[in-house]
Amino acid sequence: MPRRCIFRCPNPNVLFSQPKDEATLQKWLNFIFTHLAHLQGEYKNHIYVCDHHFTEDCMLNKGLFDSGVISTISLRTGAVPSIYEPMPPTHNLSVELLDLPEEKPSISSIDLSQPAGHPVYSPSLTPSLSSFPVMLISGKKDPPFRSQRSATRSVATQLSANTLKNIRSKAVQASNTFHTVNVGVQTVKRKITLPLARAFLVQSRPKKRPRVEMEEERVEEEQDEDEPVFDDSSHRTSVYNFTELTDTDLTPDYEDTKYIVFEKNLRQLFEQCPVCNSECAVQRQRCGTFVSFTQHCPECMYSRTWQNQPVTRSTPVGDLQLSASVYFSGGSFQKMQRICKGINLQIHQLDTFKKHSRMFLEPTICHNWKLHQERVFDECREHLELPVAGDMRAHPPGPSAKLGSYTTMDLESKKILDIQLVQSKKVGDKNLMEKRGLKRSLDRLEANNLKVDYIVTDRHAKVQKYLQNRQITQYYDVWRLEKDLSKKLDALSEKKDFEVLKKWSPAIKHHMYWAAASSSSGEEKVAKWISQINHLQDIHKHDDPVFPQCAHPDKKTRNPDKWFKPDTKPLHEVEKLLLDKRVLRDVPKLCSNHQTSSLDLFHKLSVRFKPEDVTFSLIETKCRLFLAAMHFNENTAPDQEMTGNDFLFVKSKQACPNVKTKATYGYVRDLMELLFTQVLHYPSAFDLKNKTETEHSENHEMMEEQHGF
């Protein structure tokens, strides 16, 4: 015997079997036998109740089921039926269609001007077959049938009166004129089991899924309470008016959720006609990630065209967003293409990616960097004077560098202020690239009313002379001077009879950091630096009145061999190296408060956005550096207070532990919004000109350099 609701409801949608929990089962039985007392003696172990007797809060996914997205409804734990409204007997339309005699009435006034792709049913239809409107087809007495049939009769059908009107293909722009004729129509003997709205969404009920998947779906429905779900309250009035059921239309196209769909599963949606259930002819067209299917039914001439993504200004949104996500994340499209090829995922080609970059992506990055830079400048204007760090990085690294990027950073907020890209062929001399980049950065800061207190750079001679002429205080990074000196000490310690230097080499490096951090003037830095020559010989009192005695407590020596011997070659070589004229000239300029370690971290980060082994054009290099700067400014760590020995080990893990935090990508969201809301619609307003103001300033600076200004 077929399963049936115990209340004998006609044509139930879903049946639920009795629960296994004894307490819940008893509540079921109390409700059932309250209304069906005559069946209490005939109770058996199998009872089924349909979904008409449960409230909406008892079901987990009623809205999704009614809209045709899923095929099974799940009850919540402890759900009990509480509605007793005997369903009126429904008129079984499918049975009546089978019992009707085959007649050949005529259809008149058919207007085939409906655009293809639109559903042929009226949105006012309800899912119940009993509420389908009946179209009266008048059978006129045509001459061929005059002797066979002389009366007319009303025939029930599943089509509304306006179903076949206004059918038109999207591919045809001109309106077609059809002559009205009387034709014979034969009723098709097919049993219709699906509601009309669900027939458009689900052509056939999928196979029963394992219980594991059903449990996972139930857990996801309970957890994702904040996500929008289909509301089935409006389903009884309008079946597939999805603007009432979801808020997906309010979401921009670029923020919409995407899925990977197999083609054979996608074709199943178009192989069967939603009107007459006949087999349809399906044509596919693909371009990049864009794909469209054209469905045509040869029986009832129904046709529609479906596409997987919107198209804006003849550009598929999916193609452009894929290119943008690869570019904005600093990735390589070639690698992305190889990954997609491995799973046979259809995407666009490299030429299309370059076209997107030139027309949309690079103008978006440049414009968004200007907006981001203005916000950083507004934050820095709160300070009267800024401590700034600057450094040049060559692209590619080495003597064959063709490009150089000069970066300036605010040492207080640890944010990138400006990036200037310099071409060696424009400057004329590679030694002038760093000076040219520094000049442009300082001009940019001055143009935005930002005053520089002092700048921390390397020991480049031309940079030093330029800053003196511009009357800007310059300090040297301690790590850079210590790095140059450490190379020479390490090379010297490898010689014979220099074993004692190998033991003292770490202490000499730390002494430079201590001398810079604990001194308030340049003379004090020099006095502390020179004092280490006596300290290496176990002499802790000095003749210099600025620093007459070592700061460490007095300790008795247990091992006299650890000290340098007076008038020996190792001591003479070390003294010659530490008291070099250039070293003594640079020690007073060592920065006491800040170092450029954060700027070095940015240079390491920029390699992720611009790999050194890949050649990029000028505009590509500039855009990728802008992306690295926006990512760094958004995820930079707060300033770390350093006192005492913390300053000595600022480059090590003791003072700067490698604490990994989850990076944020808010700048990518801003780029996407700018791209799809402005740049895509008005590309000419964001076009990058070939001759920019920077190139004109380069020519002017080159003329000044040649004339010695």
Please report the domains of the chain, with CATH numbers, ordered by start residue: 199-321 (no CATH), 363-477+593-706 (3.30.420.10), 478-589 (no CATH)
Report the distance separating Cα 375 and Cα 528, nearest Å.
43
Paired strand residues for 423: 403
Q: Kindly report whether the peptide bond that precedes residue 396 is cis, defined as omega within 30 degrees of 0.
A: yes
SS3 327: helix
Lowest mean pLDDT among 161-165, 196-200, 384-388, 414-418: 196-200
SS3 541: strand
Contact 167, 116 (CB under 8 A): yes
DSSP secondary structure letter of residue 59: B
Label residue 557 by pLDDT band (50, 70, 90).
Answer: confident
More confident residue, 338 or 68: 338
**Burial environment of residue 582 by CB neighbours within 10 A (0 to 12, 13 to 18, 19 or more):** exposed
Per the prediction, the chain carries an average pLDDT of 74
Q: How much is the pLDDT for 647?
A: 44
Backbone dihedral region for residue 691 (phi beyond 0: left; psi -120 to 50: alpha; all else: beta): beta
Paired strand residues for 295: 282, 304
**Beta strands of 429-472 (E only): which ranges?**
452-457
Report the distance separating Cα 536 and Cα 562, nearest Å.
9
Report the distance separating Cα 93 and Cα 11, nearest Å.
11
Q: How much is the pLDDT for 336?
A: 94
With the C-alpha atoms ordered 245, 246, 247, 253, is the resulting torsion angle positive or negative? negative
Q: Give the C-alpha distances (Å, rounded to integers) separating 692 from 434, 446, 687, 688, 689.
A: 21, 20, 11, 8, 6
> How far is residue 43 CA from its own chain's centroid?
58
Report the distance separating Cα 514 and Cα 231, nearest Å.
69
Task: Please check the confidence at residue 66 and state whether its pLDDT lies above 70.
Answer: yes
DSSP secondary structure letter of residue 36: -
DSSP secondary structure letter of residue 192: -
Give Cβ neighbours of residue 696 (< 8 Å, ≥ 6 apart).
none
Among 43-47, 175-179, 466-470, the range with the most confident prediction by mean pLDDT is: 466-470
Among 40-49, 364-373, 455-464, 682-691, the range with the most confident prediction by mean pLDDT is: 364-373
Rg (CA), the chain: 40
The Cβ of residue 655 has, within 10 Å, a number of other Cβ atoms equal to 15
SS3 615: coil
Contacts 24+ apart (CB under 8 A), 362-365: 362/619, 362/620, 362/623, 362/688, 363/679, 363/683, 363/686, 363/687, 363/688, 364/324, 364/671, 364/674, 364/675, 364/679, 364/686, 365/327, 365/328, 365/623, 365/626, 365/627, 365/671
Q: Average of pLDDT values for 298-310?
A: 93
**Beta strands of 44-124 (E only): which ranges?**
48-50
Q: How much is the pLDDT for 177?
A: 41
Give Cβ neighbours of residue 272 (< 8 Å, ≥ 6 apart).
203, 204, 278, 279, 280
Report the distance separating Cα 54 and Cα 78, nearest Å.
12
Closest CA to 141 of 101, 109, 104, 110: 104
pLDDT tens, 653-669? 333 444 457 888 999 99
More confident residue, 208 or 530: 530
pLDDT tens, 181-228? 444 434 343 433 333 334 344 344 444 444 433 444 444 444 444 333
